[in-house]
Amino acid sequence: MPLATVLEKYEENITTLEAIETCPVRDELALNMEVGTQFVTIRKKIDPFYAVIEDPIVGIAIPDPDEFDMQAAVEAAQSLEEETGEKQDKPEAPVIPWGLCGPYCPVTLTEDFWLYPGAKELQVVFRNRVYSLASEAVRDKLLAEPSKYIPTREPVTPPPRILITGPAGSGVDEQCKRLSEAYGIPTIELEDAWRKCVDERIENVKKENRRKVAAEKLLEPMIADDKPAWPEGWTPAVEKAEGEEEEEAPEVVPEEDGLDDEQREQLFVEAMRDVLGRHIGSCIINAQFKWASFGQVDQEADPDATRSLQNLLVKARRLPDLTIVLKAKNDVAAGNVFDFAEIDRVYEERLQAYLKLKQQAEEAEDEEVPIPEPPEDLVVDADEGEKESDRVKATFITKKAAQQADLLEFVQAITAARAPMQKVSADRGAVIAHKSIRWHCKDFMEQRTSLLVKTQVRKLTPSKAMDVLQRGLVQPSYFGDCSPLASDLPLFVGKPDSFSYGVELRGRCFYPRSEEDRETFLARLQTFTQLPPPSPIAVHPCICVNGPPLCGKTMLAKSLAKRTGAVYISASAVLTGLTHTLALPCPLSKRIVRPCARVCPWRQVPWSKHCATASLHRIVLRMAGSWTASRRPSRWQRPSQKEALFRIEFFPSPSRRPPCSHALLRLEKQALVKKPI
């Protein structure tokens, strides 16, 4: 059947279907689409639950921490507190609700296995989580198929890549060597490796050009101007007459690569992607410049923006996990590179040798002996007091200033790309600089497992925690009222600041016990969130502090109660309150005073307190849910009124420990603890 007839019938059927009111809108697909693109497009049309990026109008508003004014927020909180009379929580900067990839591009992480920070202007929302993209082309990939790039579980963190750079004399080579030995990972000389890769790529381009030219010449006619057209290299030798001079060989012209500026820049970028590919593992990147700027053709050439380090790393999407920029003063940097005393000594020897030759030539009787000319780098008529080391130092400072200007542009580009960057001074020596670098590398090396999770947490004030829990926006973690740093330590609700250090992580609330514990928890999230859950058995442990007089029982008990938030009970204070003449009678006071009245014939309050200790001991321990054996005073022994033979400090608190964890602390005279815990 002719194709025209089939198309006419097809159009007729489509027109008939479109005339029906309930007919869906027709969508057309181009035949030249790739198979994967066609599949995704068809699936979006037929699957109503296909995951798509949320529309900015419908999705959540992405906060901007850079625009937050802390001073204005504090003033607003203070004014509101004065108006209402209610204490306001300390204002906190807004936190972006990052997804599982944090602030890094999910497309680059999936395709290149590289942590590249996304741009602030290219942030999208997917299932109420924010993802940042590296470029517009990358964003188009994510919009076309989000489920391909956005992970559904914790992504695998790529190996660490640390870049160290700095001007001449700042000790970049030394710090790269020290850091490589400390972590046991190799060092990559970035500029040398990149230049080698660029040369190989340019040579491949030239070979391809020669192959194309050779193929085109094979198609040319073999006869031109009634003479055979010999291919290049096949021209027969021409016999020359005797006495005729041979022609000089033509000057060799450098072969051109035939690339324009855009193609050459793309070649530079691809070379950087080859050097820093996903095949490299953990490494230290030495990015020190050979001359005034990175990738400079030669020492006399002007810097090229297409060869700059920031241009290559950004366009290749190969920013390191951490950039360390070393800095040093001119005198320190010059002293690290040159030995000025040796330079002056060698120069003086050369100068004296030349002056000696010149004097010998002048004293020679033969007038034909020429006076030798001084070498170019030897200054004979120098000013008084001028040294060769001064001239060397001035040349070095000029080179260092040019490198610092290029490094300043590099730092600005790194900061604009939101990549981590730290400046370290090398003026105090290599050892101190190395310690500073190790401290900055801690989050990216020792605590790398929590690198992506750290960006997904936010601190909660007590009012904010109560609000999100009541509204169901978050749920308590499986630790419950226990500390995430140790699952067997309960959160003592008796402390006034028990809920002042809350943390939200992926819809779960965690409650460290202090600000120090919270910072430790935030530094190593993966370590603590993977601890086993606490025991489901809830008990009420108690600690009894008991010992001879003046051994520090009260101080120790009060310190423990203050630190843990548990309830503090003192037997002497309870007895004083119950047996005082002005105290109102109650069943407990009657239960204590009556047996003491029968035992003590003196009927004085101090003796009642002494004799009632045994009864109160069992009563208080029974109320606390624990029994503790202890020495009781003699019933008929009359003690000194200035010395108490027996005292109990007791504070129960809720916990999940088993009953066997009840403790009795006994303080002896030789083990006095006068300093609070």
pLDDT at 177: 95
Distance CA(375)–CA(377), nearest Å, equals 6
Q: What is the pLDDT of residues 117-171, one digit of tens each?
A: 999 999 999 988 999 999 999 999 999 889 899 999 999 999 999 999 999 999 9
Residue of 441, 210, 195 lying closest to 298 (CA atoms): 195
Strand partners, 458: 504
3-state secondary structure of 155: coil
Arithmetic mean of pLDDT over the chain? 80
pLDDT at 381: 76
Distance CA(633)–CA(549), nearest Å, equals 13
- Which contacts of 488-497 are long-range, i.e. CB under 8 A and separated by 24 or more positions? 488/534, 488/535, 488/656, 488/657, 489/513, 490/653, 490/654, 490/655, 490/656, 492/564, 492/565, 492/566, 492/653, 492/654, 493/565, 493/654, 494/565, 494/566, 494/567, 494/653, 495/564, 495/565
pLDDT at 155: 93
Superfamily of domain 159-219+261-446: P-loop containing nucleotide triphosphate hydrolases (3.40.50.300)
Return the higher-pLDDT residue of 548 and 116. Answer: 116
Q: Which tokens hold the place of 518?
A: 């919270």
The answer on pLDDT for 258 being more than 70 is yes
Distance CA(503)–CA(157), nearest Å, equals 23
Furthest-apart CA pair in the chain: how many Å? 154
Q: What is the pLDDT of residues 527-549, one digit of tens each?
A: 888 888 887 776 666 778 888 88
Distance CA(264)–CA(499), nearest Å, equals 60
Q: What is the pLDDT of residues 500-519, one digit of tens each?
A: 888 999 889 998 888 888 99
Global pTM value:
0.76
pLDDT band at 623 (very low <50, low <70, confident <90, very high): very low
pLDDT at 68: 87
Distance CA(123)–CA(133), nearest Å, equals 6
Q: Are 521 and 477 contacting, i.e. CB atoms less than 8 angstroms apart?
A: no
Residue type, 51: A
Strand partners, 542: 652
Q: Are 283 and 276 contacting, i.e. CB atoms less than 8 angstroms apart?
A: no
Would you list the domain boundaries of the chain?
3-46, 65-149, 159-219+261-446, 458-529, 542-671
What is the dihedral angle through the alpha carbons of 397, 400, 406, 410, rounded to the nearest 10 degrees? -130
Residue 107 backbone class (left: φ over 0; alpha: ψ -120 to 50; beta: rest): alpha
Strands (DSSP E) contained in 172-224 are 187-189, 223-224
